[in-house]
């Protein structure tokens, strides 16, 4: 087994409405702890039920940025080369309560929303839901479309 990543998706063949990824992600308290450490976001509403309740929340909630970062990973896998993502934006519409034990399931679907051949970009719309409730609003990634005839792997000294 090698560490070679999958071949990048050929962006020139994209069509509007095409589904690029449909993934499910389990989010547990363990996930929140790992994200807190990785991101440096140690707001106690993401690990302490008492503090979360004082803040008027139903309990510990997932970091919005964890949700944003996780919801795009199905698309990253489908692209093969994550560096094709040049923009990513979202609104945080609903918090995700995370139980003390067990997990919740984040479902993410990435679909081609628009293609701008002149600019060399494509917009991918990401729908992220937990139990049928949308947790991100207007989540959109911008992809760089390789220029026609561009060769991967050029630039070796």
Partner 1 sequence: MPTTPDPAFAGRTYPAGPVHTVSAAKIAEFARATGAASPLHTDPAAARAAGHAGVLAPPTFLVSLAQATEAQYIEDPAAGIDFSRVVHGEETFTLHRPVVAGDRLVPTLTVESVRAAGGHAMVSTRVDLADEDGAEVAAVRSMLVVRGD
Q: Is 81 in the site for partner 1 (CB under 8 A)?
A: yes
Q: Taking contact as CB under 8 A, which single stretch among the options 9-17, 89-97, 109-117, 119-127 is the one that binds partner 1?
A: 89-97
Total residues at interface with partner 1 (CB under 8 A): 41
Applying CB under 8 A, among 80, 99, 119, 133 the residue interacting with partner 1 is: 80
Applying CB under 8 A, among 18, 73, 111, 121 the residue interacting with partner 1 is: 73
Instruction: Considering only residues 110 through 149, tell me which ones interact with partner 1, judged by CB under 8 A.
Output: 141
The per-residue b/e assignment along 18-42, b for 16 or more CB within 10 angstroms, e otherwise, is eebbebebebbbebbeebbeeeeee
Q: How far apart are CA 59 and CA 122, in angstroms?
A: 38
Confirm if 30 and 104 have CB atoms less than 8 A apart: no
Q: Is 46 in the site for partner 1 (CB under 8 A)?
A: no
Q: Is 68 in the site for partner 1 (CB under 8 A)?
A: yes
How many residues comprise the chain?
Answer: 157
Q: How far apart are CA 119 and CA 145, in angstroms?
A: 9
Q: Taking contact as CB under 8 A, which single stretch among the options 14-22, 59-67, 96-104, 118-126 is the one that binds partner 1?
A: 59-67
**DSSP assignment of 96-157:** -B--SSS-EEEEEEEEEEEEETTTTEEEEEEEEEETTEE-EEEEEEEEEPPPTT--TT----
Q: Is 21 in the site for partner 1 (CB under 8 A)?
A: no
Contacts to partner 1 by CB under 8 A: 3-5, 25, 31, 34-35, 37-41, 54-55, 64-66, 68-70, 72-73, 76-77, 80-83, 85-92, 141, 152-155
């Amino acid at each position: 087994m090698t560490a070679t990543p999958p071949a990048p998706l050929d962006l020139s063949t994209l069509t509007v409405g095409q589904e690029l990824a449909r993934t499910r992600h389990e989010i547990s308290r363990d996930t929140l702890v790992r994200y807190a450490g990785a991101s440096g976001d140690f707001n106690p509403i993401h690990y302490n039920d008492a503090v979360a309740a004082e803040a008027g929340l139903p309990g510990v909630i997932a970091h919005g940025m964890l949700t944003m970062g996780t919801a795009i990973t199905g698309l990253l896998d489908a692209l093969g080369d994550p560096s094709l993502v040049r923009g990513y934006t979202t609104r945080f519409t609903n918090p995700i309560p995370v139980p003390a034990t067990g997990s919740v399931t984040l479902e993410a679907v990435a679909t081609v929303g628009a293609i701008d051949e002149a600019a060399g970009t494509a917009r991918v719309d990401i729908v992220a839901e937990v139990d049928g409730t949308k947790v991100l609003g207007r989540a959109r990634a911008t992809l760089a479309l390789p220029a026609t005839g561009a060769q991967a792997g050029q630039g070796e000294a």
